[in-house]
Structure 1
Amino acid sequence: MSKITELREKQQKLVADARALLADIKDDTAEARVAELETQHDAAMAEYDRLEARIKREEGLEERERELNAADERRPIGEDRSVQGGRQENLDEARATAFRSYLRHGLEDMPAEQRKIVREMRAQGVGTDSKGGYLVPEGFMAELVKSLKAWGPMLDPGVTRVLTTTSGNSIPWPTMDDTSNEGSLIGENTQVSESEVAFGTKTLEAYKYTSGVVLVSAELLQDSAIDVEQTVRSTMGERIGRIGNRHLTVGDGSAKPTGIVTAATALTGVAAAAAITFDNLIDLFHAVDPAYRDDPSVRWMFNDGTLKSLRKLRDAEDRYVWQPADMRTGAPATILDKPYSINQAMAGVGASNKSVAFGAFNRYVVRMVREFAIRRLVERYADFDQTGFIGFTRLDGELLDVAAVKTLQHAAS
């Protein structure tokens, strides 16, 4: 039995135990007993979430192992089996080694060959050279993107549509809403009436984000056992990922991205100020046109506190709305047979809040500029015997079809 399968089976048991606890709550159950049972239920589901995080890590390790095996430089490439792989890998490794040397020692103390490689990397970027920043190697960028995704689903290509560009120029993107038009039946020799298609346009910009200064002590830089690159990358990924996800979720569009919650049409008049019901979910589900509900990217989105409430909801036939992941088929956990993403940037259940989003999320385009630059700050923190690193990247996001995603907005009071 694989580790992942074992963890999935534990999750299944936790769900069964948690639901058995809720089943003990009757109309005449004392309030103290109800609180006790709900606390035990929440503890079981917290353990479920902890196991889910372990499963994600195990899946990530398996994926990494597959990547390493696929990149074995001893494997031949192409039809000519005399040509061995690894040449590009050797170049990438040389860049990565030079970059790590730059992080530890700075440009002045690097060997001449590595200094040349780093300067060549810097020359590849538009506008980076004059600012003293250095482009990061592809391996660093790939791992950074993974760190960004970990801090919010809006940067996950499996949720939104991610467009990566080499430069940061504005991109006009045409939009069209023709859902109100349909064909017509006409008689013989009858002129066809005209119906205009409503075209529009939205522009994807490249708003500049920074990680802020990441401080690393001289001792860590000098200790060869410490992975400085990983320390810098994970910290920058966390900081940029958190603000990037928040702006792509609830940004107001003023010198920043227009978030998907901001852009989506809100469904009002159905949800109470401080509660969410099964009927509210049904209303939101059917507020989205069936054509979008069949899209592969369709999903729910809400924060973890809202998920906690939804896990306890049951329909008129006493069936739970939330269904756990199926370990046999690999299907994810669902609500009304649709998957969901947890987004902590979304508001919780509360007066006037937009607590749940639903629809085809690939109609939201995230534009990321491939160039990512890092600057090394030495003198500024010399009195603390520390070196500062600061990263810069650019991104934007737009909901290109506002009919594709709807939000549930609670009453004001």
Structure 2
Amino acid sequence: MSEETSNFEIKAATGGEGDVAGMFSTFMSAFEQFKQTNDARLAEIERRGRVDVLTEDKLERLNAVLDGAKSAIDRQALDRARPRLEGGRIEANDEYKQGFAAYVKRGEEKALSIGSNPDGGYLVPAETETEISRLLTGISPIRAIASVRQVSSSVYRKPVTLAGPAVGWVAETAARPQTASQTIDALDFPTAELYAMPAATSAFLDDAAVDVGQWIAEEVNAAFAAQETAAFIGGNGVNKPRGFLDVPQVAEADWAWESLGYVATGEAGAFPDAHESDVLIDLVYALKAGYRQNANWVMNRRTQGALRKLKDADGNYLWQPAASPGGRASLMGFELVEAEDMPDIGAGTTPIAFGDFRRGYLVVDRQGVNVLRDPYSAKPYVLFYTTKRVGGGVQDFDAIKLLKFAAE
């Protein structure tokens, strides 16, 4: 490993120069070295038919550096965008927010009757609920690109038109033929309870400077995001959202409503030996033009690492880094969303999804986040059983396509 590669790893691990611009510069420098190393790898294959193990090792290290640096940039950008909820003081006329802070810190309940829940606990103030949703959108990859709808009931029913009425052209004085009725169906999106249980010491809660709304939002945010992302991708719909990979999958030529179409690579567990990128082009054009305009790639970082090495017929890299800090990398001109719950490349797996997720996948949030204070179960810690209700599922089965690593 070269000294330069080692420096990149150190900068990625420590946050680079300590600011977003510095970390982004480190990221771009690492990508340039990655391209040079991969070019050397391809030249070795062409010249000797094999790759030197040191070159392969260096390439994998640079791949890891790119992943780590991008994660650090995203975290820094999210932290900078985070507002304070209480600003160190509570307005006199905001009685509920003041009462909620007293409940979290000291267990006082007398001012919270309007936010009580029949199952126990209290609703968080509106600002805290908004902050939880904002933070989830920032780190939950599928939520960030899907449609999100707030509802007040446990099930959201969405009507969908499967076939519209017959239409056509007719002369001004000609008879008007009777048109067929349109076909309408309904999709149900039930919500299920998602919970987290952050803990705090009494000393921490006694600190007058603690912004309890911000603290709860930050504590539950990562736990909520991890659980809901896994469900949005692979959930079976039983007491959780139904993920898009749980929908029946059929070859694109046989696609029908209530299934997702896939394009096969032609090789079990691998890209084809020749013209590897052709299957990606096939996947892009399996999606109708109206969906391609706002389409995203979805895959995990290991799959993304494999795609970084691919070039087009003119020798250009298909994968390109984000143009600015906080942006997304792109593949063949379409933004790439990294979701760790997507499967790895393997025989019969579908590790790459491509589609307009805004039209294709719906996230349903039931209004209200509930907090129940428990100072008894884990003394000396105080537990906060925090729940929200979330649902999700595919709403347009033609808007998402998959790449399947299989012979057919």
Shared fold per TM-score greater than 0.5: yes
Contact 2:166 2:180 in 1 (8 A): no
The equivalent residue for 1:198 is 183
The verdict on how the C-alpha distance between 1:293 and 1:390 changes in structure 2, with shifts beyond 3 A counting, is same
* Counterpart residue number, 2:120: 132
2:38 is the counterpart of 1:53: no
* Matched pairs, number: 372
Query: Unpaired runs of 5+ in structure 1?
Result: 73-85, 108-114, 123-127
Pairing 1:104-119 to 2, within 5 Å after superposition = 104-107=105-108, 115-119=109-113
Deviation of the 1:136 alpha carbon: 0.6
Distance in 2 between the 1:178 and 1:270 partners? Answer: 32
Change (3 A) 1:89 1:226: closer
1:223-242 equivalence runs, <5 A: 230-242=214-226
2:402 alignment partner, one of 403, 407, 410: 407
Distance 1:182 1:267 in 2: 30
Q: CA deviation at 1:9?
A: 3.4
Q: Is 1:322 aligned with 2:323?
A: no
Secondary structure in 1 aligned to 2:198? strand
In structure 2, C-alpha distance between the alignment counterparts of 1:406 and 1:54, rounded to whole Å? 30
Alpha-carbon contact 1:148-1:241 (below 8 Å) kept: yes
The match for 1:112 is none
Match status 1:355 vs 2:374 = no
Letter in 2 for 1:134: Y
Which deviates more from structure 2 when the two are superposed, residues 18-27 or residues 147-156?
147-156
**Deviation string, structure 1 residues 325-374 (Cα, Å, up to 9, x no partner):** 2249x974211110011111111111221111111111211110121101
Q: Tell me the amino acid that sits aligned with residue 163 of structure 1.
A: R
Q: Indicate how the Cα distance of structure 1 residues 287 and 198 shifts in structure 2: closer, same or farther if over 3 A, else same.
A: farther
Aligned equivalents of 1:207 and 1:312: distance in 2?
41
- Tell me if the contact between 2:200 and 2:382 (Cα under 8 Å) persists in the aligned partners: yes
In the TM superposition, residue 155 of structure 1 has moved relative to its aligned partner by 2.2
Counterparts in 2 of 1:390 and 1:338: CA distance versus 1, 3 Å: same
Q: Does 1:175 align with 2:171?
A: no
* 1:279 partner amino acid: D
- What do the CA deviations read for 1:247-273 (whole angstroms, capped 9, x no partner)? 111112234322122335131533522
Aligned residue number for residue 341 of structure 2: 345
Deviates more, 1:332-341 or 1:140-149: 140-149
C-alpha displacement of 1:390: 0.7
Whole-Å separation in 1 of the counterparts to 2:50 and 2:96: 64
Q: Would you say 1:371 and 2:368 are equivalent positions? A: yes
CA RMSD of aligned residues (A): 3.4
2:31 maps to 15
The correspondence for 1:299, drawn from 296, 313, 318, is 296
Per the alignment, residue 149 of structure 1 pairs with: 137
Secondary structure of the 1:366 match is strand
Q: Is residue 265–residue 407 contact of structure 2 (8 Å, CA) maintained in 1? A: no
Contact 1:176/1:401, CA 8 A, preserved across alignment: no
Which residue, 46, 49, 55 being the options, matches 1:37?
55
SS of the residue 1:340 aligns to: strand
> After the TM superposition, which residues 376-395 of structure 1 pair with which residues of structure 2 at under 5 Å, given as runs?
376-381=373-378, 384-395=379-390
CA displacement at 1:42 relative to structure 2: 3.0
Paired residue for 1:334? 330
Paired with 2:120 and 2:322, the residues of 1 have a C-alpha distance of 48
Q: 1:89 to 1:378 in 2, by over 3 A?
A: closer
Q: Given the alignment of the two structures, is residue 207 of structure 1 paired with residue 207 of structure 2, yes or no?
A: no
Report the AA paired with residue 104 of structure 1.
Answer: K
> Residue 255 of structure 2 corresponds to which residue in structure 1?
none
Cα gap change, 1:116 to 1:267, in 2 (>3 Å):
same
Q: Aligned-pair distance for 1:302?
A: 0.7
Shift of 1:149: 3.2
Alpha-carbon distance in 2 for matches of 1:412, 1:232? 49
User: What do the CA deviations read for 1:291-334 (whole angstroms, capped 9, x no partner)?
Assistant: 1112x3x1110111111111111122222110112249x97421
* Correspondence for 2:12: none
Compare 198-207 and 357-366 and name the one that shifted more: 198-207
Aligned 8 A contact 2:308 2:319 in 1: yes
What is the CA distance between 1:387 and its match in structure 2?
A: 2.0
Identify the residue that residue 162 of structure 1 maps to in structure 2: 148
Q: What amino acid sits opposite 1:389 in the alignment?
A: F
SS of equivalent residue, structure 1 residue 59: helix
Q: Mind listing any 5+ residue stretches in structure 2 that lack a counterpart?
A: 1-17, 248-258
Q: Quick check: 1:18–1:41 contact (8 Å CA) kept in 2?
A: yes
What is the CA–CA distance in structure 1 between the aligned matches of 2:182 and 2:56, rounded to whole Å? 53
Matched-pair contact (CA < 8 Å) for 1:355–1:409: yes
Identity among equivalent pairs (%): 22
Q: CA deviation at 1:57?
A: 3.9
User: Is the contact between residue 263 and residue 283 of structure 2 (CA under 8 Å) also seen in structure 1?
Assistant: no
C-alpha separation in 1, matches of 2:103 and 2:205 = 11
Q: Does the 8 Å CA contact 1:160/1:366 hold for their aligned counterparts?
A: yes
SS at match of 1:373: strand
Compute the TM-score of the two structures, normalised by the length of structure 1.
0.78
TM-score (norm 2): 0.79
- AA matched with 1:144: I
Distance of aligned partners of 1:139 and 1:365 in 2 relative to their CA distance in 1, 3 Å threshold? same
Equivalent position amino acid for 2:112 in 1: V
Q: How far apart, in 2, do the equivalents of 1:225 and 1:334 lie?
A: 42
| CA–CA separation in structure 2 for the residues paired with 1:145 and 1:186 | 51
